[in-house]
Copies of this chain bind each other. A is one copy, B any other.
Amino acid sequence: MNIGAPRQPGPEPRVGVTPEIAQRYVEDGHTVQVESGAGEAAGLPDEAFREAGCEMVGSAWEADVVVTVGPPGDAEVSRLTPGARLLGLLRPLEEPEAMRRLAESGVTAIAFETLPRTTRAQSMDALSSQATLAGYQMVLEAASRLPRIFPMMVTAAGTIRPATVVVLGCGVAGLQAIATARRLGAVVRGYDVRASAAEQVLSLGASFIEIDVTPQDSSASGGYARPLSDGDGTRLLDGLAPHLAAADVVITAAAIPGRPAPTLISAEAVSGMRPGSVIVDGTAERGGNCVLTVADQVVRAGGVTVVGPTGLEARAAADASSTFARNAYELFSYLYDAEIAGADDEIRTGVTITRGGEVVHPEVLARIDAAQMDAMT
């Protein structure tokens, strides 16, 4: 097949195929078309692609299989060939309408976001690989903004106490943030609604904040969390407040797939925090875990700095591209093999959003229906 790696629209520096991975496609008997300059921002010059056996083209959106990172804009969708496969982080649950349009243009859309979180599927799990990098970057962001340093230091000019970092939402990103902050020497506490998160937080040498709320079956649902009831939500906010007041840095990464990020930090909680402290909200794109978060802006509330950086995973563009490309390769190969074998399984049904001109993913369909109901009433 002909695999295409287009240059991403917007500020996205990542690319869906790296020279290393391109070589594997080629070894598997495919051809790879890379849009000229697609890898530049990730430190991958055209030269490297060419050496790996890729064809450098003016536009790669016309290929049989298009590996994109983020969702394509309208302009890009129009360049896709009907019958082509589009692989990427397509935001199917957030933008079900866009999926309908993809279906209409006859494209088979394959989204990483709806991959089941099984052991077998981990090598294809781009959410995890990118979240890992985001978690690391959140800590760098916080450390750069904090007017203090993270580690404890006993020096001739006095003792600098270690910074206290609170991490809310200990999924992949949160756990990596915990690990990174610990490495830098901070005292770290983590919180998550999932019961199994406690052990995971402890396994990184951090402590866990115990708050007595029982989420609605939150460990289930393919490894993703579920929302809390209203009462529990308030209790959670209240329970977290004293921990936030004692923190120098708060990093949030609590999310529920396909829904706005749960609110974990109220304006009052922020005003109770120490002057100089920093909140890095990793969920700004989904509305933020902190009510004051504004995506990509620095908000100052009292002495507290609240930032909601987006595109965190893209900062380490080289590593982000190489891990993403590897995930895409694994997913593509898996589906390709399954297709040849005529097999249909959990993974394939999970990731396939549109096929044969139709939206086929039940959850996306449900969202489209819900949106239509909303529009009608």
Contacts and interface: CB of A to CB of B under 8 A. Distances in A.
Interface of A: 13, 42-43, 45, 122-123, 125-126, 128-129, 132-133, 136-137, 140-141, 143-144, 146-149, 151, 153, 155-158, 160, 180, 183-185, 275-276, 303, 315-319, 322-324, 326-327, 330
Contacts of A276: 42-43, 318
Contacts of A317: 147
A319 B144 contact: no
A43 B326 contact: no
A318 B148 CA distance: 6
15 contacts: A43-B276, A45-B303, A125-B157, A128-B155, A129-B155, A136-B149, A136-B151, A144-B144, A147-B316, A147-B319, A157-B322, A158-B322, A158-B323, A183-B183, A183-B184
Contact of A133 (B125, B149, B323): B149
Contacts of A123: 156-157
Given A180-B184, A183-B185, A275-B43, A129 B147 contact: no
Contacts of A126: 157
Q: Assembly of this chain: how many copies?
A: 2
A42 B149 CA distance: 13
A136 B160 CA distance: 13
A316 B136 contact: no
Contacts of A275: 43, 45
A147 B43 contact: yes
Contacts of A327: 157
A329 to B, nearest CB: 10
B153 A132 contact: yes
Which of A136, A146, A147, A323 counts the most B-chain CB atoms under 10 A from its CB? A147
A324 B156 CA distance: 11
Given A43-B303, A45-B303, A133-B149, 16 more contacts: A43-B147, A123-B156, A123-B157, A125-B157, A126-B157, A128-B156, A129-B157, A132-B153, A136-B149, A136-B151, A137-B144, A148-B316, A155-B323, A160-B319, A184-B184, A276-B318
A327 B153 CA distance: 15
A148 to B, nearest CB: 5
A42 B318 contact: no
Contacts of A144: 137, 140-141, 144, 315
B323 A160 contact: yes
A155 B184 contact: no
Nearest to A180: B184
A80 B43 CA distance: 53
A126 B156 CA distance: 10
A157 B324 contact: yes
Most buried by B among A137, A144, A148, A185: A148
Please provide the 5 A-B residue pairs with the shortest distance between their CB atoms, ordered closest to farther.
A43-B276, A157-B323, A129-B157, A147-B318, A122-B156
A60 to B, nearest CB: 21
B319 A149 contact: yes
Contacts of A155: 128-129, 132, 323
A94 to B, nearest CB: 23
